[in-house]
Structure 1
Amino acid sequence: MMAEGMLARTMSVLACFTEDEPAVAASGIAERTGIPDSTLYRLLSDLVAEGMLARAPGRTYTIGPRLWELGELSPLSLRLRETALSHMVRLYEATGENVHLAVLDGATPETSAALYVGRVTGTGSIPTLSRMGGRQPLHTTGVGKALLSTRDAEWLERFLAMPLQRETTHSVTDPVALRDEIARARSRGYATTREEMTLGNISVAAPVAAVQGLPPIALGVVVHLDKADVRRLSPLVIQAARELYHDLRNSH
């Protein structure tokens, strides 16, 4: 019980760090976790000693190098991202646009999102909200809709029963309309979004066929509205997804 309690406390501490606040003071951690000061001090000291956390300027803490090192041992890094990188680079060279690699992450439809595990971009690419390790909604992103197209009827029924958040005025949140878009993505082999996550952006993404030992995968590009040519981009994305599947299937 004590070990379980310590693990739960450790996870609650780690959950305090976010993209918006990567450095957090001990007082902030105490406020968010409710862990008593004396216990928290010992826990933070132990986490720093093990490299799970690191001390930062302003008496704050950040995620430590050991935690990053362990994360890099995940199949999402060692197998998926390493295999996908060459395909992503070729897709970037062919389009000059942001290339994203994402997987379906979540224990249930209600908690699932698109987890970004790879990204290739350049100085001429339009800025996006995505980042490595970031999570974005499934219904408003190209890779997210491509991932939705891989789900069965029961899974989708549960997902579409939830209230879906509107990220922009163009976000598709109506279950009937979204179901139609998922059906179209399945029939043509790729999904699209049009200013649904970020105004001025269009995305084109394709699912990667199921690979044993990995979660559902999608590969996509994000382009500026003025430069978007879906008829040119979609075959490139589909081909990249197929080639990635071929390499992943043969990698183990």
Structure 2
Amino acid sequence: MTAAGRLLAVLDAFAPGRSSLTLSEISRRAGLSLTTAHRLTGELMNWGALERDTDGRYRIGLHLLELAALAPRGLELRELAQPYLEDLFHSTRAHVHLAVRDGSEVVYVETLRARGAVTVLSRLGQRWPLQVAGTGLVLLAYASPEVQESVLHGPLKRYTPKTVTDPNELRRTLADVRHTGIAVAEEQITLEGVAIAAPIRGPGDEVVAALGLVVHIDECEPRALFPVIKATARAISRALGAPSAKGHALSVH
């Protein structure tokens, strides 16, 4: 492993649910000796990528957040979309997600969680396989044929008894998403949750992100949310300069 690879392995030891680690845990998860892990964590602390608590545990440092703010598919998109996400959140009282694709995974770059709504596992920075999330289905449906075939021929992990793991069924679902411009994922990650998602387009009309809502399966008919999520996704697309979104007004109240 290269020197850069060892540094990245230390950072990669952290993950959702593992935001605070001891030196021994970092050593084990990164596959490094304690001596090497100690030296590298020191270098990363000096640079600001790691911080150390009073109890001796390590956490991700603020300097990484500063760098993440420069990612055009991350915080810049989030800042532009924020007013529209908040309007959607207040009008629906549902969980709201903004997501982008990273390889065969969907990554949430913003989440607005509704109090008292259905339980969700999503959080800012959370990753899921494309095929199990509503936003992921949108991003997969508009991805290149190579990406689609890679997912369809790869292992399709099951999270609930309702998770779709049949490639043929998934292929039909993706075709339907392209036809309707909406993805609906019922109880794919957690039971009782229904995700509705729509594509967000960039300056070249390419799909650059996905907008999602999650509601309780008995709370409302998913189809009733189609107009509002489509209107919001179109408004964000227009703000990004998507030609196909020009001339459409947004009304979510």
Cα contact 1:202–1:228 (8 A) shared by 2 = no
Cα distance in 2 for partners of 1:162, 1:138 equals 12
Q: 1: distance between equivalents of 2:196 and 2:117?
A: 15
Given that residues 140 and 147 in structure 2 are in contact (C-alpha distance below 8 angstroms), is that contact kept between their aligned partners in structure 1?
no
- Structure 2 equivalent of residue 109 of structure 1: none
- 1:63 corresponds, among 60, 85, 91, to 60
2:73 pairs, out of 73, 76, 80, with: 76
**1:210 CA displacement:** 3.9
* Structure 1 counterpart SS, 2:66: helix
Shift of 1:208: 1.2
> If the length of structure 1 is used for normalisation, what is the TM-score?
0.89
1:167 aligns to what?
159
The one-letter code of the counterpart of 2:7 is: T
Alpha carbons 2:199, 2:211 under 8 Å: kept: yes
Q: 1:194 to 1:114 in 2, by over 3 A?
A: same
Inter-partner Cα distance in structure 1 for 2:2 and 2:80: 38
Question: Among residues 139, 150, 169, which one is paired with 2:142 in the alignment?
Answer: 150
Residue 232, structure 1, aligned to residue 236, structure 2 = no
Q: d(CA) in 2 for partners of 1:18 and 1:84?
A: 26
Taking the aligned partners of 2:146 and 2:18, their CA distance within structure 1 comes to 37
The structure-2 alpha-carbon separation of the partners of 1:17 and 1:160, relative to structure 1 and needing over 3 Å to count, comes to same
- Check conservation: 2:201, 2:207, Cα contact below 8 A: no
Does residue 1:178 correspond to 2:170, yes or no?
yes
Alpha-carbon distance in structure 1 between the residues aligned to 2:17 and 2:207: 27
Shift of 1:230: 1.8
For 1:11 and 1:215, the matched residues in 2 are separated by 30
User: What SS does structure 2 have at the residue aligned with 1:91?
Assistant: helix
| Offset, 1:219 | 0.2
| 2:194 paired residue among 202, 206, 210 | 202
**Structure-2 change in CA distance of 1:183 and 1:79 (3 Å):** same
Provide the TM-score with structure 2 as the length reference.
0.89
Q: How many residues align?
A: 241
Q: Deviations over 1:42-86 (max 9, x none)?
A: 221121122110112432111111112211222134420001111
Q: 79, 102, 105: which is aligned to 1:105? A: 102
Report the CA distance shift for 1:160/1:244 in structure 2 as closer, same or farther (over 3 A). Answer: same
Distance in 1 separating the partners of 2:226 and 2:106: 20
- 1:137-179 Cα offsets, whole Å, 9 max, x none, are 2111111111111123333222201120111000111011111
Tell me what 1:44 maps to. Answer: 41
Bigger shift: residues 95-104 or 201-210? 201-210
Counterpart for residue 109 of structure 2: 117
* Cα distance in 2 for residues equivalent to 1:152 and 1:59: 46
Give distance in 1, aligned partners of 2:48 and 2:207: 28
> 4+ residue runs of structure 1 moved beyond 4 angstroms?
none
Contact 2:163 2:188 in 1 (8 A): yes
* Structure 2, unaligned runs of 5 or more: 243-253
Range 22-31 or range 198-207, more displaced: 22-31
Matched with 2:119 is: 127
> Which of 128, 131, 142 matches 1:139?
131
